[in-house]
Structure 1
Amino acid sequence: MTGLYDGEGVLRFYGRDRDDCLAYAELFGLDPSRYSLFSLFGEPEWVAGDGFSAAAPEIAGLGRPRSS
């Protein structure tokens, strides 16, 4: 499960995977720089350029693996 959070950290949508969340974002015309995707069940996280953690950094072409 993946959640789509807005820039204020509010969960706006959750779905089976990132494709569900991306479809939601496209449907409502959300700017990729204004939301982040998070795994809801502890899958690997990524650090996105806007300071949020995203499960799929390729969404906005940003991100790098989080260093431990």
Structure 2
Amino acid sequence: MVLGLYDQQGLLRFSGRDLADCLAYAELFALADGSFSLESLVHEPSPEDRWVQPASS
């Protein structure tokens, strides 16, 4: 799993392989709790994403 750490403006500040990496980044740059969010950067494709229908001619 890859996590992204986003600041309050919604900018990706860091991506890491686990929660500990992201929290270490936040601690290193003295980001206060509540001033960032963590989100998964891995998109699980839905069945619609996997099967693209060719365009009719």
Does TM, scored on the shorter chain, surpass 0.5? yes
User: Helix, strand or coil: the match of 2:24?
Assistant: helix
Structure number with greater CO (CA < 8 Å, separation at least 6) is 2
Q: In structure 2, what residue type is equivalent to 1:22?
A: L
- Structure 2 residue matching 1:30: 3-state secondary structure: coil
Equivalenced residues, count = 43
The unaligned stretches of length 5 or more in structure 1 are 44-68
Question: How far apart, CA to CA, are the structure 2 residues paired with 1:6 and 1:17?
Answer: 17
Flag the structure with larger Rg.
Answer: 2
**Aligned partners of 1:17 and 1:24: how far apart in 2?**
11
Query: 1:31 & 1:42 partners in 2: Cα distance?
Result: 28
One-letter code of the match for 2:27? E
What is the Cα deviation at residue 42 of structure 1?
4.0
| Residue number in structure 2 paired with 1:65 | none
TM-score, normalisation: structure 2:
0.70
Identical columns (%): 60
Please state whether the residue corresponding to 2:34 is helix, strand or coil. Answer: helix
